Amino acid sequence: MDKIVVLDFGSQYSHLICRRIRDFSVYAELVPFDISMEELKKHNPKGIIFSGGPSSVYNSDAPIPEKEVFKMNLPILGICYGHQLIVNNFGGKVKQANKEYGSSVLSIDNDKDLLSGVGESVRAWMSHGDEAEVVPPDFEIIAHTESAKAAAIASKDR
């Protein structure tokens, strides 16, 4: 059975992320964000999800996985803080923004691949105080909300 590994950065929803993945008959395992590369490779994941969390990527004590995780030839999905980690790691810029909390309309800008079949928009739960101000090179915005212009991004290469 295929496996997705969810790196936990302190989100209150990490277990729910795993449960939703399992609803699609894909095994998901929750592991700490600071798992060693050796241990991560033992899981033989088909993809990795970075959960959300209460930190900000620009803080000196921000939790960050080993740099090699970003270099694995695997799809990586970042949710909230995890999304901001991806932006920061690949050369984009994250800034403090107006807090967005609760149900928001996520408008789909590119419905191929990850957002295929979602439609023009979907209600999504938002819980963040930071946002991607500059999208990394070789990434594109695939969805936005009223207050977050880059609510979802995708690599053009992965």
Shared domain for 5 and 67, answered yes or no, is yes
Residue 76 predicted with pLDDT over 80: yes
The string of DSSP letters for 92-146 reads -EEEEEEEEEEEEEEEES--SGGGTTS-SEEEEEEEEEEEEEEPPTTEEEEEE-S
Q: Looking at per-residue confidence, does 11 or 98 come out higher?
A: 11
Confidence of residue 126 (pLDDT cuts 50, 70, 90): confident
Shared domain for 68 and 102, answered yes or no, is no
Shared domain for 71 and 138, answered yes or no, is no
In which domain, by residue range, is 11 found? 1-89
27-40 pLDDT, tens digit each = 999 999 999 999 99
Shared domain for 16 and 64, answered yes or no, is yes
Shared domain for 102 and 80, answered yes or no, is no
Shared domain for 122 and 81, answered yes or no, is no
Shared domain for 75 and 10, answered yes or no, is yes
Shared domain for 113 and 50, answered yes or no, is no
Task: Give how many domains the chain has, as a whole number.
Answer: 2
106-122 pLDDT, tens digit each = 999 998 888 999 999 99
Shared domain for 58 and 114, answered yes or no, is no
Shared domain for 66 and 120, answered yes or no, is no
d(CA 6, CA 86): 14
The CA R_g of the chain, rounded to the nearest whole Å, is 15
Cβ pair 48, 76 in contact under 8 A: yes
